């Protein structure tokens, strides 16, 4: 199967409408691919906190409509990155959208781990409450977003739900690029899955983006990696590699669940 990551440049010189037009054109040009993935927050700007309330949209808003039409025109599975979603109760969420080749939305995922500690996303957005996997012809996909990469228990839950492909849009700061590379490869090795991380390029909200989108195989090998600027990154992957790797190194079979954890005080001895 052929997978493409559209590493979009996101900067403050373009508004959401212009970004939607450009992204839709790029998706439509990928006819013949099987899967296309966009970055986190590319329409509203993942670091433009001050404009989120203005640019928030419902699940069937302008970004979803543009991406649905582009997926249908190209006949591809499309992970449309994330939008700033305004839920019916007014809560904002960082929400990923996945469309089938017919343009129908097959799933959406509200980001569980919000970045910012006491500011930004953590202060302004609600937290998702459920993991999301979606069956596709090439294998079940699990959805996660950017900061989620730092929380391995989420990816183990996606594995247990049947994920074979982990799709991770991101708007990762350039100063922590090596963390990104480490986490993407680690999650692939841990879960023996393909990981496709599509990362924004450019600079917006005063934060330079890392770029370096990656396609990593279940053995941890980097099949393709982009540079820092806007780029169309394509890789041919063999979904059967997941089964081959899991059979060759059956670590998932050897998991021991329900290990008791002793209660400890900070820097104290077990139980006391």
Catalytic residues: 40, 111, 146
Measured between alpha carbons, how far is residue 105 from residues 71, 167, 228 in Å? 10, 16, 30
Number of H helices, E strands in the chain: 7, 14
Which position has the token pair 């409450």? 129
Burial class (CB in 10 A: 0-12, 13-18, 19+), 7: buried
Q: Are 65 and 26 in contact (CB under 8 A)?
A: no
Burial class (CB in 10 A: 0-12, 13-18, 19+), 83: buried
- β-partners of residue 208 are 203
Q: Give dist(CA 114, CA 129) in Å, integer.
A: 12
The CA-to-CA distance between both ends of the chain, in Å, stands at 55
Q: Give dist(CA 146, CA 23) in Å, integer.
A: 19
């Amino acid at each position: 199967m052929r997978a493409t990551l559209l590493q979009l440049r996101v900067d403050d010189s373009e508004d959401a409408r212009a970004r939607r037009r450009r992204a839709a054109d790029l998706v439509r040009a990928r006819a013949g691919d099987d899967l296309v993935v966009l970055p986190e927050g590319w329409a509203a700007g993942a670091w433009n906190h001050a404009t989120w309330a203005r640019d928030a949209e419902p699940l069937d808003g302008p970004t979803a409509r543009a991406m649905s039409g582009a997926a249908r025109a190209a006949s591809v599975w499309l992970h449309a990155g994330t939008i700033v979603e305004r839920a019916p109760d007014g809560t904002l969420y960082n929400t990923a959208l996945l469309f089938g080749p017919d343009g129908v939305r097959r799933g959406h995922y509200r980001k569980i781990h919000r970045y910012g500690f006491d500011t930004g996303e953590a202060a302004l957005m609600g937290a998702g409450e459920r993991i999301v996997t979606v069956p596709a012809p090439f294998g079940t996909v699990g959805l996660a977003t950017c900061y989620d990469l730092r929380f391995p228990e989420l990816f183990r839950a996606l594995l247990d739900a049947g994920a074979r492909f982990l799709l991770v849009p991101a708007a990762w700061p350039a100063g922590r690029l090596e963390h990104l590379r480490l986490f993407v490869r680690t999650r692939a090795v841990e879960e023996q899955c393909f990981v496709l991380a599509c990362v924004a390029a450019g600079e917006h909200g005063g934060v330079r983006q890392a770029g370096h989108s990656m396609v990593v195989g279940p053995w941890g090998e980097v099949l393709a990696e982009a540079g820092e600027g806007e780029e169309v990154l394509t890789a041919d992957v063999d979904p059967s590699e997941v089964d081959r790797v899991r059979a060759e190194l059956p670590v998932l079979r050897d998991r021991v669940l329900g290990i008791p954890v002793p209660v400890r005080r900070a820097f104290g001895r077990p139980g006391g």
